[in-house]
Chains A and B, each alone.
Chain A
Amino acid sequence: MRISKGALLVVVALLVPFVVEFRTALSWFGIKLTILESLALAGVLVIGLLLWAVWPENGNGGTGTADSS
């Protein structure tokens, strides 16, 4: 784990405002997302985040030193 489970949960929660308002921001550039597309984007972001978090650091897998709960 690159970050602790607690921190991971907090980052996922912090994604919510960004996903909600990203849709508003994009529309200023003429890109209109539907709600489903926003949800899909959120899903991709969360999965990406999870993959990043569980990916072993520097290739030497699973030392798990960063878990500071």
Chain B
Amino acid sequence: MATSPPTEVTAMRNAYVDQFPDEARVIKAAFWSSFIALAIGGTLGLVQALHRTDVFRFIQSPDYYTVLTAHGVLLAITFTIFFLVGTFTWAVTTSLDRGVVDVRFTWAWYIMMVIGTVLVAIAIFSGFLESAPSVLGSELNADVLFTFYAPLEAHPIFYIGLVLFVVGSWLAGVDWFRTWLAWRSENPDERIPLPTFMVLTTTLFWYICTFGVALSILVFLLPWSLGITESVNPLLTRTLFWYFGHAVVYFWLMPAYMMWYIMLPKFSGGKLFSDPLARVVFVLFLLLSTPLGIHHQYLDPGIAEGYKFIAMTNTMFLLLPSLLTAFTVVASMEHGARQRGGEGYLGWLKALPWRNPIFTGMALAGLMFAAAGFSGMINAGMNINYLVHNTWWVVGHFHLTVGTAVALTFMAASYWFIPQLTGKELWNRSVALGQVLLWFIGMTFMSNAMHRSGLFGMPRRTAEPQYQGFDFEPAVGTVGEINMQVALGGVILTLSLALFLLNMIMTSIGDDSESIPDNTYAGTLSGAEDSPRILDNLKLWTAIAVVLVIIAYTLPLASIIDAGGLFGPGIEGVRLSTWVDPAVIESLGEVIR
């Protein structure tokens, strides 16, 4: 490792915008697309929190589901993935030390994603109109929630928009691979730099998992909404959705993981504990992200228990890379703290740079993710899942994961990225620190109360969970208190969101600054030279991942199609039994059960 003697003053600014001005423009555009989605989606979250808890209702309850769809799609798909493509483009160019092959191609996929988002948004927000205009022979609306499987049906524009968005993200992946291949032809014997390795493995499992949702939309939902096919097999579209629906949570989690691995150690004042361990973690995510979607369907009739058991086993295996991450990331933070003079068994915690909003935001996001690990284990267990399935518990869980581990990490990272991309200093570090702390406190109130509501059976996806002749019975306190916690949490989160956006806007309109730190990421204690070469064999891992998917999904899909028909029970479409003897499926099914 080359280390230069410490210097106090940089001769020339060397931020990302100075190194890659063209790429910086695309990344900045992607980040702003992400922030706009965050602003709209987050505000709608407050509307829901106040409506559900009956604190303040100003929309009609049927419109609640339009709000819910917009909140889910804008935050879970648009906010996260726009931020991801920006971060990944930064990671590839920074770690390979070269620009993308052709920045026009980069702009092309970004614009494609924007067009897709706009179409989706038009379809969803038309749901608020008294009489929505009729386009393509049907009324514009898409109240299908983020989980857009049948029997809920959206306008074709919604599906077309989603397809454009996803294809745009595929092309982004092509862009990263092209850039890496170009780099490899110049550096044939070098190891893939860690950030690029993370980007490539994540992109590979994104290709594998989006295949399912593309199939679901292009073959079933889109023709159905256009009236080309008469019906669909709802269980099939559900299963194909969840084939994608759990891997997508790792897709938006991976940029947060990347930040924890390559930025958090740097801000702690140390180095990444182990490059090999980080590579193992990302390989495990490539292998295991997809063949476990059925764990979202533990209560679906029509899928045999044996298949659910396989999904549960894969899910439990996937705890491993997250626990490896907990160790590596905390050990890297401890390394930084000890280099900063921290001492004792736990006293080193005091030596961490808590005044720095980037560090504190990411550390608190990681802490919340540890709590989410617990509720995730409950969700993953086949029997104990019955306790919380489809209750508000699950909503509490994913507000800790995507709503905090991911969103708070992204916001904290923005405090570093936006100065890098604009060459302007962060407007106000104290406001930024207050913002990340407020997010933590707000989410504590909201998510904790949601978890507890789930335990006494309060349903999710419900505008008015207040029933006549029936009262929920919390173990402690009253439903009113718990609702107040949710409303209070929602208000604090919205305030925090407003402070974040204010800081981003004020930073962007501020003056150029010469004191932006260099564009670097964390070094490693144990580097790539210590990790086996086979870890970089992407073809091998992709092949194994595909085999695992085939093992986990062939039989469930075959039996779903066999029982319900490819296009629903009423239609004699292509039935699987024309290719495979049903007796074979039956006997294989018996083995699984």
Contact = CB atoms under 8 A, between A and B. Distances in A.
Nearest to B357: A6
A5 B485 contact: no
B574 interface: no
A68 B476 contact: no
A60 interface: no
B481 interface: yes
B476 A4 contact: no
A4 to B, nearest CB: 6
B184 interface: no
A34 to B, nearest CB: 10
Given A23-B477, A27-B476, A66-B350, A6 B444 contact: no
Interface residue range, chain B: 20 to 34
A4 B445 contact: no
Residue from the set A9, A27, A28 with the largest chain B CB neighbour count within 10 Å? A9
B350 A20 contact: no
B350 A7 contact: yes
A9 B448 contact: no
Interface string B29-71: 0000000000000000000000000000000000000000000
A20 B442 CA distance: 12
B355 A16 contact: no
A17 B444 contact: yes
A3 interface: yes
Interface residues of A, number: 20
B355 A20 contact: no
Contact of A13 (B353, B356, B440, B476): B440
Interface string A2-28: 011111011001001100110110011
A27 B353 CA distance: 37
Interface in B471-495: 475-477, 481, 485
B501 interface: no
B476 A69 contact: no
Given A9-B437, A13-B440, A16-B444, A24 B477 contact: yes
B152 interface: no
Interface string B425-465: 00000000100010011001100100010000000000000
A7 B352 contact: yes
B502 interface: no
Contacts of A68: 340, 350-351, 353, 355
A69 to B, nearest CB: 3
Nearest to A11: B354
B586 to A, nearest CB: 50
A13 B452 CA distance: 21
Contacts of A17: 444, 448
A10 B485 contact: no
Contact of A23 (B351, B445, B476): B476
B357 to A, nearest CB: 9
B360 interface: yes
Contacts of B452: 24
A33 to B, nearest CB: 10
A36 interface: no
A20 B353 contact: no
Given A7-B352, A9-B433, A20 B444 contact: yes
Interface string B262-287: 00000000000000000000000000
A20 to B, nearest CB: 6
Interface string A31-47: 00001000000000000
Nearest to B354: A6
A7 B433 CA distance: 11
Contacts of B360: 6, 10
Contacts of A3: 350
A10 B445 contact: no
A66 B448 CA distance: 34
A33 B352 CA distance: 35
A69 B357 CA distance: 11
A13 B408 CA distance: 15
Given A20-B485, A24-B476, A24-B477, A7 B354 contact: yes
A62 to B, nearest CB: 18
A21 B477 CA distance: 11
A23 B475 CA distance: 12
Contact of B433 (A6, A21, A66): A6
Nearest to B356: A6
Contacts of A16: 440-441, 444-445
A13 B437 contact: yes
B437 A10 contact: yes
Contact of B354 (A9, A20, A24, A28): A9
A2 to B, nearest CB: 8
Contacts of A13: 364, 437, 440-441
A24 B449 CA distance: 11
Contact of B448 (A4, A6, A21, A28): A21
Interface string B491-521: 0000000000000000000000000000000
A4 B355 contact: yes
A3 B352 CA distance: 10
Interface string B324-361: 00000000000000001000000001111111100010
10 contacts: A3-B350, A4-B355, A5-B355, A6-B356, A7-B352, A10-B437, A24-B476, A27-B476, A68-B353, A69-B356
Given A6-B353, A6-B355, 16 more contacts: A4-B350, A5-B355, A6-B354, A6-B356, A7-B350, A7-B352, A7-B354, A10-B360, A10-B364, A13-B440, A16-B441, A24-B477, A27-B476, A28-B476, A35-B481, A68-B340
The 10 residue pairs across chains A and B that have the minimum distance between CB atoms:
A6-B355, A69-B355, A6-B354, A7-B354, A27-B476, A13-B437, A17-B444, A24-B476, A10-B354, A16-B441
